[in-house]
Amino acid sequence: MPADTTAPLAVLGTHWTECEQWETKWRGFLRMRPEFVRTPPLRYLDWTIDGVPLRDRLTLPDGTECPDITFMTEGGEGDPFVIESLRALLLESESGFDPWVQFTDGRAGIYFCAGCGDLACGAVSADVRYTETTVEWRDIAYQGGGISDDGMTEAVNVEEVPSFSITFDRAQYEGTVRALLAEWGDRA
């Protein structure tokens, strides 16, 4: 299904935000009693669509916000996962990090597990499609990475939050993502 050319094109942007972090400390005589201790929040660069955080569209029915984040965390300049996650959004991922930033069906990760970043925990992903003048994040949704008897399930889950698509002006989109690549240490 082609993108609706009559709809206004979205503007991709970013802004700094924080997510809570917790650490498990083991207490008691035999260190068998867990205690969860809040640690300093993790700062990361989040996606915005027309100035509004993308995660606002990913709130679960119970009001829980999307717990996943981008790889662009404070102090993460030069991190190969940051670089490859951005390249995947340009359809230029080629360094072998693909299993960490893209599912086997080709969908690119947009948000990843805040604890480990592993796609096996699941991620928010999109089918990235290009035309001469636009880029579409098609069917943005939670995608499972759970392990089944046959390996990774990677099923797209639209039960909790229905999938949606966003279409960008290609020049603006590529300019934003390439500026992020330069800022986060891609010297290629």
Residue-wise pLDDT tens digits, 23-66: 777 777 777 777 777 778 889 999 999 999 998 888 877 788 88
Per-residue pLDDT, 173: 97
pTM for this structure? 0.80
E-assigned strand segments in 28-133 = 33-49, 52-53, 108-111, 123-130
Mean pLDDT of 178-186: 88
Residues 67-77 have a mean pLDDT of 90
Of the pLDDT bands very low, low, confident and very high (cuts 50, 70, 90), residue 154 is low
- Mean pLDDT of the 170-178 span: 97
- Percentage of the residues of the chain whose pLDDT score is greater than 90: 40
DSSP element (H, E) containing 85: helix 80-89
